[in-house]
Chain A
Amino acid sequence: MIRKITYGIFLGIIVLSLVLFFVAFPFGKNKMAVGKYYLKNDIKQTGAANVVTAVTLDYRGFDTLGEVTVLFAAAAGVAILFYVLEEDKKKRERQVYPNFIVRVGSRIIFPFILLFGSYIFIHGHLTPGGGFQGGSIIASGFLLLYLAYPGERVNRNKLSIVEGLAGITFAGLGLWGLFTQGNSFLFNFLPKGQLNMIFSAGILPIIYIAIGFKVASEFAGIVDDMMCEAVCSGGEK
């Protein structure tokens, strides 16, 4: 009884504070001074046609490095939990593959998914999208192959090499800007170029390509860990 009364009091406090917050919130009015500054100065300062990319990679580039690090930590945690040391080869060979249409169709559609994902992260500074979106689309292509061929695996060492090189590219570009050109981390030291061209906005496209490769390899690694735990782990320990 006392517990129910306590729950009721807490629920009432939460509902009351939400109502007060939403009544005081100025809906429909633009009160964001920082947002106006970004919209006004984006093209002059960064040269990127996509304002979201200019904010996430140029004004807030350090945050994006932190995001990539968090994603890396999550992928490493999944790998620690699910990594299979001794594969059960016989269990892998006993896997039931899906029918002919699914197998051949997935092989036909996989390069197009790769192309679409690469398009999205290469054009991240021009059109909506970027490294995270393109990388996760590529990883969903890998997922399709895993569903069509449950007994096969990607080469984890190559995935790790790609991931490491992409991370080194991102951090190295930031340090290069810090030590040689300007006096800030991730300083945009390449020429801005002409607006709306593919070679514009300085180092932003290079960073987004690196993030695309890194996110794609990390998500593909997570999918590989979980599929292998389900498919090719040898007996209970």
Chain B
Amino acid sequence: MIYASWLLIIAMIVLAILSIEFKDLIAAVVAMGAVSLIISLLFLFLQAPDVAMAEASIGAALTMAIYIIVVRKTERREK
């Protein structure tokens, strides 16, 4: 379990850096949603299922959808 947590934390940091570095904004938003999903898994490992549920539904679903709507309304490529 502890090794799985370390793997998830490393993946989360890599995805967070990628979400800043991606020039394609849709890819950046997807990376951000993956960060939220991994955070919710970590909350589950830390025995906080309430917070995990809120993070999975708000952070990974609704926030991502709102960002994607905004990207679709503006521009897809970062200049």
Contacts and interface: CB of A to CB of B under 8 A. Distances in A.
B8 to A, nearest CB: 20
A223 interface: yes
Contact of B62 (A52, A143, A230): A143
B65 A143 contact: yes
Q: Bin chain A's interface residue count.
A: 20 to 34
B61 A143 contact: yes
B11 interface: no
Given A140-B57, A230-B72, A128 B66 contact: no
Interface residues of B, number: 14
A61 to B, nearest CB: 16
Interface in B7-54: 49-50, 53-54
B50 A223 contact: no
A128 B50 CA distance: 5
A175 to B, nearest CB: 27
- Interface of chain B, helix or strand or loop or mixed? helix
Q: Which of A136, A139, A229 is most buried by chain B, counting CB atoms within 10 A of its CB? A: A136
B62 A129 contact: no
Interface in A102-133: 120, 128-130, 132-133
Given A128-B50, A133-B50, A230 B65 contact: no
B65 A120 contact: no
A191 to B, nearest CB: 26
A20 B42 CA distance: 26
Interface of B: 49-50, 53-54, 57-58, 61-62, 65-66, 69-70, 72-73
The 7 A-B residue pairs with the shortest CB-CB distance in the complex, in nearest-first order: A128-B49, A133-B53, A136-B57, A140-B61, A128-B50, A137-B57, A226-B69
